[in-house]
A and B are shown apart, each in its own frame.
Chain A
Amino acid sequence: AQKVTQAQTEISVVEKEDVTLDCVYETRDTTYYLFWYKQPPSGELVFLIRRNSFDEQNEISGRYSWNFQKSTSSFNFTITASQVVDSAVYFCALSEARGGSEKLVFGKGTKLTVNP
Chain B
Amino acid sequence: DAGITQSPRHKVTETGTPVTLRCHQTENHRYMYWYRQDPGHGLRLIHYSYGVKDTDKGEVSDGYSVSRSKTEDFLLTLESATSSQTSVYFCAISGSQAYTEAFFGQGTRLTVV
Interface string of B18-60 (1 = CB under 8 A from A): 0000000000001101010000111111001010000000110
* A50 touches B (CB below 8 Å): yes
As a 0/1 sequence over residues 100 to 112 of chain B, the CB contacts with chain A under 8 angstroms (1 = contact) are 1111101100000
Decide if B48 touches A101 in the complex (CB within 8 Å).
yes
> Which residue in chain A gives the minimum CB-CB distance to B9?
A43
What is the chain B residue whose CB lies nearest that of A43?
B107
Contact A33 B48 (CB under 8 A): no
Q: Which of A63-71, A77-85, A103-111 is found at the contact surface with chain B? A: A103-111
With a cutoff of 8 Å between Cβ atoms, the chain A residues found around residue B97 in the complex are 100
Whether A97 is near chain B, meaning CB under 8 Å from some CB there, is: yes
Instruction: List the B side residues contacting A104 at CB < 8 Å.
Output: 33, 35, 43, 45, 92, 102
Report the nearest B residue to A31, measured CB to CB. Answer: B99
Q: Is B96 an interface residue (CB 8 A)?
A: yes
Assuming the A-B contacts A100-B30, A101-B31, A102-B94, are A108 and B42 also in contact, with contact meaning beta carbons closer than 8 angstroms in the complex? yes
- The docked-state distance in angstroms from the alpha carbon of A31 to that of B108 is 32
B90 at the interface (CB under 8 A from A): yes
Is the pair A108, B101 in contact by a Cβ cutoff of 8 Å? no
A101 to B43, CA, bound (A): 17
CB distance B42 to A44 under 8 Å? Answer: no
Assess A50 versus B107: contact at CB under 8 Å? Given A103-B48, A108-B42.
Answer: no
Which residues of A are at the interface with B, using a C-beta cutoff of 8 A? 4, 6, 33, 35, 37, 43-45, 47, 50, 52, 91, 93, 95, 97, 99-109
Q: Report the 6 A-B pairs with minimum CB-CB distance, sorted nearest first.
A: A102-B94, A106-B42, A45-B104, A108-B42, A102-B102, A106-B43
